[in-house]
Structure 1
């Protein structure tokens, strides 16, 4: 650190205060204002990087050359500002993350290759979720979670369960969760964003979630939200309950640009059995989604407020009805026609949900507002659904999507 002059303000608390600031500067890097200005040590974030690989050992220091072997060990070692880089390979799930990041120093767990780091149930499984996160300001990016390889012990009811706040669940491939568990009201989901532990403000973006729950079980969902959240650009199919289900303290949720197919119900917007709020679910907006070939299409239930909207969705061929909204509620800009996917059947192991030329969903979405994230506003054309027009490139399905 360069040499600087700085002034210590006299007083009984000055010494410990300055000592604390200097320690923060040593640990994090520092910037000191020059003499003649108000003297203050300003810590600067220096990110920490940890590594996990199948060839590693949990007795290693977690460096690039000497990586950890398990995500559990990495979860014990993270501090605010840490990025955990996970090499391609197979790892045991049942991961618990409890260390909080901060708004300025998020903790990130990221598969080095999207879909390359694969979590499977361990022998004698002891957790009901492949990944149980209770921390705040934490991101889980690019993993495959495959529940089909069950061995013994507790069966997974959730792929990623999130009970923390300000977290991101991005670009994961989660499949075959709870396919042979009893159908019970406690339920489960491919991805759960929950308010029970007072979590809020979740982001669920760009995930592929499929084959969730036993047949005809209305309690197992693709993506389940009970708090404030943004659910965008996800592909969900063959969830026995709802593809996207809002309940408990859910409110102020954006459901935008998702493709929901072959589920018990496409999208449920509701609130009730409140944990911490008094309800209702309000200011929730459902925009630019494809809801096709489900048991039910889009429905409301429980306590819903006046400021809910349904705009520019393609809702079609849902066996028991495309819409069931509260009395007086209207949907606008709805397209009632087949989406024309590139390759789809209900039983296909890996449907291709890109849009064929001539799809009524191409260019018919509602443009993003200035209040929405830059990534959404940057869309060149506001298509409906999660997948692009088939002529624009590869399907963007995870390499493991054929499981």
Structure 2
């Protein structure tokens, strides 16, 4: 799994600079909880996750086991409350992982109740948990819905058993439909996550996955290009020649197929890799990331951002729990400069359907817009209206567009697939 980024030393009490503290309340505020537990490690995954075998004896340490994890997470909420003081009601809560629903549903509800007790929840709060289709049923989902959860994001990945096997995904494809039906029964909104570009996956197999997902009528669908990450089992198999390496052209074809089929089915793209049936169906928590709002990340390896200060926790569950018992679990942090914040705004906002106002660009970036329109990467009508909005081709070449908008350098356009 990837190393944490370098950064400055984080204060042991978690205190924020005055400028960041004064900014609290000026933007929407969210909470992210990273649950690091999985029953098995998927061959493509480099996320900060651990099986019981990988945790070994420390799995019984407070905070480093399923049984004690939420107690430690609530302790980090206490730290956040101490650092932030008065903060706006929480707009979004997202529980990710790992497989968060390996925790008892009542523990997830208890965590949400702790968030509510400290800051309150906005009237239209969005509360999401990720889930493996095999890890939920109507009873557990009802506990979540009754406790305040509003969405479930199911890791479908593919509808083709052979593709799932290559990814080392262990769920039964039929359980996706069962999980969707159970979520509908208890009133939860449903998102499905798909992956395209698995080694050996054909375009027709990808079509099958898309059509199967669309037939389930989710509110939201995400489709991400597979990245072969170094250090994973999948990367080793590709390196040994057991599996072909995904190609940019193949992933571009699959993205275009997804965008076309989803549009025909009534889904609108609102971010490069995300589509929803209605504006209400968007994942507002992820939109907060792309718009650089404020959020506190709870759990091992979780990242946070408040008022231009970004920090990240130590990765191992036992180390996180130990540092939390002594103060802040942050490994390091960085205070973003005005230039860094501007570049990041361009990088993230351009991914959104609404695009980026051209007056947020540096002069060289504004000069580059006309050329990007001529290359078919930026919508000309939107540009006339003062916004940079990607065309479908532009979404396939986002890195190139961002490069031009930030640096204004006339490098030749090269085909780049979307990777998330």
Larger radius of gyration: 1
**Larger relative contact order, structure 1 or 2 (CA cutoff 8 Å, min sep 6):** 2
Structure with greater strand percent = 1
TM-score (norm 2): 0.29
Structure with greater helix percent = 2
